[in-house]
Amino acid sequence: MPNLDYTVGWICAISTEYVAAQAFLDEEHEIPEYVSTNDNNIYTLGMMGKHKVVIAVLPKGEYGIAAAASVARDMLHSFPNIRIGLMVGIGGGAPSQRHDIRLGDIVVSAPRDGTSGLFQYDFGKTIQDQTFQTTGHLDKPPSLLRAAVNDIEAQYERKGHKLEETIAGILRKWPKLRKKYKRPDLNSDRLYQSHITHPSDDERSCAAICKDNPSKLILRSDRNDDEDNPAIHYGLIASANQLMKDALIRDMLAAEKDVLCFEMEAAGLMNHFPCLVIRGICDYSDSHKNKEWQGYAAMTAAAYAKDLLSRIPSNKVEAEKKIGELISGVLGSLSKTEADVKTIRSNLEKKEDIEILNWLTDIDYGPQQTDYINRRQVGTGQWLLDSVEFQEWMRNDKQTLFCPGIPGAGKTILASIVVDYLSSNLYDTNVGIAYIYCNVRQKDTQKVNHLVASLIKQLAEGQSSLSGNIKDLYNRHKPKHTQPSLDELSSVLRSVAGTYSRAFIVVDALDECQTSNGCRKRFLSEIFHLQSEYRVNIFATSRTIPEVTEIFKNSTSLEIRARDEDIQKYIEGRILGEGLELLEKLHDEIKWVIIRVVDGMQVLCAITVPVEYSIG
């Protein structure tokens, strides 16, 4: 039979429910003609009364909201003509003085007091008075189903139901089901007082452990002939991703929300598969879990569902809007809202990330980098970028390039050129860049912890989201007004660096890094240790002092001197930039005199040029 002929979708959570649903089919059809490529569901097809029904069950071992949503979504892909949906199976009851709910009874999701009859709550979210946080009242089932529920409720109130007779007929038809699916002995229907719990480590039955001690039980009189048995209750069903097995919490939600039943799947359906939820009660949502009633509870729910369908004309179902079309409009209108929410959330997260990183360290070398690179005369420093040593440093992993130089040789400007080159040429977001400018006048910011924290901050700023290790560090120390230790910072630095395929660290003026408490030595030890574990390249400059050159004795070294071509470009730029009208002969003479005088010291050149202007 073509897939488009099927108009009723029926979803079960476990195999017990699936068997019960199959048993109530009046006619079973062959397997589907086709299913969508990504549809992993297994279907049973058939007739219930005049309706063509598709039945599916969640994969074995999978439970909860997400699994149910996946089954519903795939069903609609393969059977796009489905008009109404049913979620039929077992659930945990919430008996109270208002609702005499017993095992085997049926709870039907029904709108009440403006709610849809189904709400989703979160075990993990509480508010101050310890009540549960509702995470959403879900959409009402289609009006055709709600009208049928009203009709059947009125019929049952006036005439009573014949669900017991219907179940008995099914068990005669399928005798192998009797043992598991018949009604258990009523004496096994025990409702324990809320404070009585079944030992979690004892798998023996309640009959053996908790027993029938009247002091532990809530005693209830037997139902008489005038009462429906099983009874049908209409109202609110609570859905979550976690099994409810705490009587105290059950009672609290029953009192606050008038909840009748707890289950784990329906909330996953309502945005993908608007449906009526029908639950047979197999336990009391407490620690006294009991599989003895599951079979019969599944049968009562299925019997009610079939009776409900029998009261809906097939042409009425065909006149309903396809569920796929119904939800596509809703989802379309939600998409912009979701996008707006994501933007807001992203902005809030960025704000929080900035706060955390600024707590880590308020040191910012960005303004210094901008200042130094702006001092560069265009074209200067190219000799360094073109050098074999630098190209090898760029090309290979775990390389260190040490560039010593005399005072005033232009080491800091060259370091800024390297940082600018890295930032301008390495577009890969998997490559991290961090830099530090040591300054003898800023000793307070150059303790080893501050330097390591700055590396963490810069590497973290290059990532799309903040590392969980950094957030953990913040949450551990911020409330206590404490600061992380060097060991903690080192650990976080390694975790952040490890997220990059490569990382480059530039450190300028190591000779100006303070030496008290072994700061410089410990800092270099940290970055060399980092390099030993990850693909980290280090570029460092320093005056030529034994304490530093000894540390880099095994590294590639390239001396920094102010090259004649750089000095020439600097002088030409400054003289021409000032618009001085000098004779060509005098211009060249001044230039070559300055080059000879400064002898590799860029700073001296910078001092001398203004003097020459005044002479001019």
| Mutual angle of helices 602-615 and 584-598, in 10-degree steps | 150
Q: What is the pLDDT of residue 494?
A: 93
- Cα distance between residue 477 and residue 471, in whole Å: 10
Do 438 and 304 belong to one domain?
no
343 occurs within a structural domain: no
Residue 608 maps to a domain: yes
Q: Which residue has the tokens 């025990």?
A: 190
**Is 34 in the same domain as 173?**
yes
Whether residues 557 and 579 fall in one domain: no
pLDDT value at position 188?
87
**Domain-located, residue 492:** yes
For tokens 């001690």, what's the residue? Answer: 213
Do 494 and 528 fall into the same domain? yes
Peptide bond before 59: cis, by omega within 30 degrees of 0? no
* Domain co-membership, 262 together with 175: yes
**Confidence (pLDDT) at 134:** 54
133 shares a domain with 54:
yes
311 plus 371 within the same structural domain:
no
Residues 116 and 148 in one domain: yes
Domain annotation covers residue 327? no
Instruction: Identify whether 195 is part of a domain.
Output: no
Indicate whether 36 and 110 sit together in one domain: yes
- 154-160-163-168 Cα dihedral, nearest 10 degrees: -160
- Looking at the fold, whether 397 and 538 belong to one and the same domain comes out as yes
Domain of residue 292 covers: 3-189+225-320
Please report the pLDDT score of residue 309 as a whole number.
96
**Residue at which a domain ends, from 296, 320, 344:** 320
Statement to judge: residues 248 and 394 lie in one domain = no
Note whether residue 178 is domain-resident: yes
Name the residue type at position 578: E
Same domain, 313 and 417: no
Which pLDDT does position 245 carry in this prediction? 81
Res 571: pLDDT? 60
pLDDT for position 327: 66
Strands (E), 143-245: 232-239
**CA distance linking residue 253 with residue 248, whole number of Å:** 9
Domain stops at, among 561, 580, 606: 561
Predicted local confidence at residue 100, as pLDDT? 94
* Non-local CB neighbours of 590 within 8 Å, separated by 6+ positions: 571, 575, 582, 612, 616
> Quick one: pLDDT at residue 602?
47
Question: What pLDDT sits at residue 70?
Answer: 85
| In-domain check, residue 217 | no
In this structure, is residue 215 part of a structural domain?
A: no
DSSP secondary structure letter of residue 177: G
- Decide which of 523, 546, 561 is a domain's last residue: 561
Give the chain's residues under pLDDT 50: 124-131, 329-341, 344-345, 348, 576-583, 585-586, 591-595, 597-600, 602-616
Note whether 55 and 18 are within 8 A (CB): yes
**Tally of domains in the chain:** 3
Q: What is the CATH number of the domain that holds 415?
A: 3.40.50.300
Task: Locate the DSSP E strands across 240-370.
Answer: 259-263, 275-283
